[in-house]
Amino acid sequence: MTINGNDLYFSIITGSQKVISIKKNLNDINVFPVPDGDTGTNLSYTMSSIINKSVNHFSVEETLQSISKSAIEGARGNSGVIMAEYLNGLYLHSRNFITLTEKEFFLLFSHAYKAALNAVEKPVDGSILTVMKDFSDCLLHNINHERHFIQSFDKAYHQALKSLKETQEKMKVLKDAGVVDSGAKGFVSFIEGIYEYFKNGKKYFEVSTKIIPSIDDHHTNNYVESTIEYRYCFELLFEPAINFDKTQLNKFGDSIIVAGNDSLTKVHIHTNNAKEVVSFIASHGLILEQKIDDMIIQQNAILRDKNEIAIVTDSIADLPKSFVDEHNIFVIPLNLTIDNIEFIDRLTIDTKRFFELADLSETFPRSSMPKIKDLERLFTFISQNYKKTIILTVSSQLSGTYNLVNKVLKENQNFGMEAHLIDTKLNSGAQGLLVMKAAKLINAESPLDEILSEIIETIDNTRIYVSVNDFSYMVRGGRVSPLKGKMAKILNLKPIVSLDSKGKGKAFANAFSQKQNFKKMQSIIKSDLQTHTIESYCIVHGNNEIDAIKYKDAFTSIIKKEPEYIEEISSIVGISTGKGAVSISYIMKEGII
């Protein structure tokens, strides 16, 4: 038999479809390397990228080059990046091949395994790599004995099945959970699809690349809780391709995998220091794309014993990380770009670093909305673990996040969930207070309709006032004309900005010093306290903890209670409010005590 590029293309497409068809089961049995329940989702995204982006050619080399590039671009998760490098190994050893003999075809799988093995910094026996090795070893054995093509593939496929079953005995975490390795099972399914394609006369079946989970599509109880040493599953795609030593990444975390072809490199790592990883990679190439998952939030969602309602917000909401963790709040990160380097708000850049880079940047930082595929991954995961979700976004007058989330939900039929999307008409600390209230209502197991009603009512009773210290950020960001900015600088104006009832930014007052602003804000609070009770409040700041503490002391005296929290602002908020800004947000109730 002679195998050409079209044969390889359709066999790999069939294998990819096969993996997608068992996505839910792979998620259900995912306990290694961490029980975050997304191996199926990540492998499906990887395979969908191959299906949607790769192009078939008669030439084996050209076909595998296209498949390799598509796989690396779309690779997600530990197993997804390993699979991408496996496919890249097929390509790298198909150079100058137009067609393949049966022996050459089988030899490619051996090269693919070696490429995948070399991509992993610390291989683990009993993982996907073990099954890849056993499969390729069996193929090599059959080559030496010159068996019939289909018979040889059949024996190797059944050896992979046997090896998959044995993974449960090789890793204690798998044995305790009573499952096989999920990544390895995905690989066996991939091989099964290739085998079926050739066995059935080169025919392939149709499987939707976009699977929408039903409302009952939840995980089985196979999970064993484990301590997660490194919180974030972080991936970066960058160019040009580089050949740096993987051990250089050891100082940042573990589960290190480096996949790459002639023009692209994908790094996968579990880390607590995503900011440092970005800095390191940026010194070696141009970062094209980043993906980051919070594995602690994911594990908590899977292992939770109550609450059928998930709560989602975006990174513009200023909230303590401890509260986000305690209430398992899903946070959609926005993105910002500084001198062609993209950062993920709160995760790969903090406020202090943002101001350092912004002051030195050639072009002023710009923000961007979440990526559609990241939203799809997030809501797919939530739908597999919750029946209902409340999503509280930053004001639609300030960002397109609300409209984008609404579009993604509609196009995917809410991912099979009962989803309630709310435009908070707020931002920063005010948005954070609303999310905090919603989380507490959910934790108290209040009925959903009461929670939604309370949220809507609270939006109208929430205020935010920001004392701007550095007017230049508003000018550089285009929110204020250069002429007004110049006049403000001459007069030393220090504006107080707020939001109107529709959630649009407005200038509330002007003063000639931060001290005067402080007095005006105290007067505002005292005036509101004549007719209302302040239920809760918070103070946030742009790298100005000293003034934030002054605000806390003064307003504690006036309001007769301490703030819920004092936090740094989001870097996205910092683009407009600037360095040194201090803000107070509060929720009011009619009547006084």
> How does residue 188 score in pLDDT terms, banded at 50, 70 and 90?
very high
Rounded-to-integer distance, Cα 139 and Cα 126, Å? 19
**What CATH number has the domain spanning 2-199?**
1.25.40.340
- Domain ranges in the chain are 2-199, 304-334+369-459, 462-590
For the chain, the first-to-last Cα distance in angstroms comes to 87
Q: Report, at the CATH architecture level, how domain 304-334+369-459 is classified.
A: 3-Layer(aba) Sandwich (3.40)
Beta bridge partners of 4: 99
Q: Is the pTM of this model over 0.75?
A: yes
- For tokens 């990444």, name the residue: 249
> How does residue 305 score in pLDDT terms, banded at 50, 70 and 90?
low
Q: What is the phi/psi pair of residue 488, to 5°? A: -60, -40
CA atoms within 13 A on the CB side of 166: 12
Q: Tell me, what's the pLDDT at 375?
A: 94
Task: Say yes or no to pLDDT of 212 above 50.
Answer: no
Task: Say yes or no to pLDDT of 581 above 80.
Answer: yes
> How does residue 512 score in pLDDT terms, banded at 50, 70 and 90?
low
Reading the block at residue 465, the tokens are 């006032």
Sign of CA dihedral 227, 313, 369, 47: positive
| Same fold for the pair 2-199 and 304-334+369-459 | no
% the chain with pLDDT above 70: 89
Q: Tell me, what's the pLDDT at 593?
A: 58
> How does residue 285 score in pLDDT terms, banded at 50, 70 and 90?
confident
In the predicted model, what is the mean pLDDT of residues 556-565? 97
Q: Higher confidence at residue 219 or residue 298? A: 298
Q: Higher confidence at residue 46 or residue 306? A: 46
Task: Say yes or no to pLDDT of 208 above 50.
Answer: no
Q: Give the other-Cβ count within 10 Å of 18's Cβ.
A: 24
Q: Tell me, what's the pLDDT at 209?
A: 45
The tens digit of pLDDT for each residue in 34-88 reads 777 788 888 998 999 999 999 999 999 999 999 999 999 999 989 999 999 999 9
Q: Higher confidence at residue 216 or residue 414? A: 414
Task: Say yes or no to pLDDT of 409 above 70.
Answer: yes
In the predicted model, what is the mean pLDDT of residues 262-283? 90
Task: Say yes or no to pLDDT of 565 above 80.
Answer: yes
The tens digit of pLDDT for each residue in 93-124 reads 998 899 999 899 999 999 999 999 999 998 99
Task: Say yes or no to pLDDT of 206 above 60.
Answer: no
In the predicted model, what is the mean pLDDT of residues 544-550? 95
Q: Tell me, what's the pLDDT at 65?
A: 94
> How does residue 203 score in pLDDT terms, banded at 50, 70 and 90?
low
Beta bridge partners of 540: 567, 583
Task: Say yes or no to pLDDT of 472 above 60.
Answer: yes
The tens digit of pLDDT for each residue in 229-265 reads 999 999 999 887 566 678 889 999 999 999 987 778 9
Q: Higher confidence at residue 531 or residue 206? A: 531
**What CATH number has the domain spanning 462-590?**
3.30.1180.10
Task: Say yes or no to pLDDT of 489 above 70.
Answer: no
Ranges of H-type helices in 22-76: 23-28, 39-53, 60-74
Lowest mean pLDDT among 101-105, 184-188, 292-296, 589-593: 589-593
Among residues 84, 36, 46, 115, the alpha carbon closest in space to that of 266 is found at 84
Reading the block at residue 339, the tokens are 């001198």
In the predicted model, what is the mean pLDDT of residues 22-41? 85
Q: Please, what is the average pLDDT of the chain? A: 88
Rounded-to-integer distance, Cα 570 and Cα 427, Å? 10
Beta bridge partners of 349: 345
